[in-house]
Amino acid sequence: MSGVTHAAPPRWRRGEGRKALLWMSPWLVGFAVFFAYPLAATVYFSFHRYDLFTLEFIGLDNYRYFLHDDRAWVSIKNTLWLVVFMVPAQVLFGLAVAQLLTRLKAGSGFFRTVFYLPSLVPLVAGTVSFVFLMNPSGPLNQIIELFGITAPDWFGDKDWAKPGLTLLAMWGIGNTMMIFLAALLDVPKHLYEAAAIDGAGGWRQFRSITLPMISPVLMFSTVTGVIYALQYFTQAMIASRVAAGVTDSPGSSFVPGYPELSTLTLPQWLFHAGFRDFSMGYACVLALLLFAASVIFTLVLIRRFRTFADGQGGNP
């Protein structure tokens, strides 16, 4: 990480392997119990009908059911919407705000704090707030209507609920922004000076110097953004519950995704299938789908880590 090559020879001492195993044993147990075993069990259950009481082998029925489960496909479509629209909005906005911060001469510390703060607001609290702020007669719509534009009924309209959630995501770009800021400040100043002398304008400098220099971080943010979009749960769940004004408890008839399934994401449908309908076998089919998608993006991410995985690699 530091890019410094340590003086210690890369030999591997006898006994360190055993010692490392001992030191890592808590995590190794955790890995086995909460990762390896459940993953295998998920595959096993996916071939069964299981409602917590009876376990019955049904072969590929769960998979066949999935192919005809309209709500599953809606949830996949919604999740893809988030990947295609919400993630880029978040990454680009985070980059723009970080870029702005590097240009501020006065009060950059203050502005950084202000821009970062919302990302710390508990997700549930932030979402409840936004459902209120964006209700039909709420503050945001009043501001919009000052400009003579008819404001939408954000979380009550199936076409506007996901854009509403995207605004919430953009409000909470603090972490993304901070990562970009650190990367931007790492770009050697003399590159810009040299480019300026050569007559390169602002846009040209951004394209030819900034973008290539921060591309690993850009990549990192995008991939982690996609991985987290695949897990998108809390905000969608809370937005639909608060907008619909209902509670959700086991056995209740509440279906997430209000309005009209527009905020139903794959993790929510999985949760609903497994822990509200108690179709645990079917939930495992959805879990495997989620797993496959996550693995693909995680492998991309791991490539970015490879060079410093042994603790002394330079820049990738």
Residues numbered 267-286 forming contacts with another protein, rule: CB under 8 A: 267, 270-271, 274-275, 280, 283-284
Q: Which is nearer to another protein, 74 or 115 (CB)?
A: 115
Q: How many CA atoms lie within 13 A of 51 on its CB side?
A: 3
Residues 115-174 that bind another protein (CB under 8 A): 115-118, 120-125, 128-130, 132-133, 135, 137-139, 142, 171, 174
Q: Does 178 bind another protein (CB under 8 A)?
A: yes
Least Å distance, CB 227 to another protein, is 5
Q: Does 53 bind another protein (CB under 8 A)?
A: no
Residues 218-237 that bind another protein (CB under 8 A): 219-221, 224, 227, 230-231, 233-234, 237
For another protein, the binding residue among 23, 51, 56, 159 (CB under 8 A) is 23
Q: Does 92 bind another protein (CB under 8 A)?
A: no
Least Å distance, CB 66 to another protein, is 15
Length of the chain: 316
**Part of the chain binding another protein (CB under 8 A), chosen from 59-67, 69-77, 148-156, 180-188:** 180-188
- Asked if residues 137 and 83 have their Cβ atoms less than 8 Å apart, the reply is no
Closest CA to 225 of 83, 31, 116, 96: 83
For another protein, the binding residue among 72, 74, 242, 264 (CB under 8 A) is 242
Residues 302, 304, 309, 315: what is their CA dihedral angle, to the nearest 10 degrees? 180
**Part of the chain binding another protein (CB under 8 A), chosen from 61-69, 83-91, 150-158, 292-300:** 292-300
Q: For 264-292, b where at least 16 C-beta lie within 10 A, e where not — what string?
A: bbbbbbbbbbbebebbbbbbbbbbbbbbe
Q: Which is nearer to another protein, 85 or 192 (CB)?
A: 192
> How far is 292 from 99, CA to CA, in rounded Å?
35
Give the bridge partners for 50, in sequence order. 55
For another protein, the binding residue among 72, 169, 261, 290 (CB under 8 A) is 290
Residues 6+ away with beta carbon under 8 Å from 267:
230, 231, 232, 233, 290
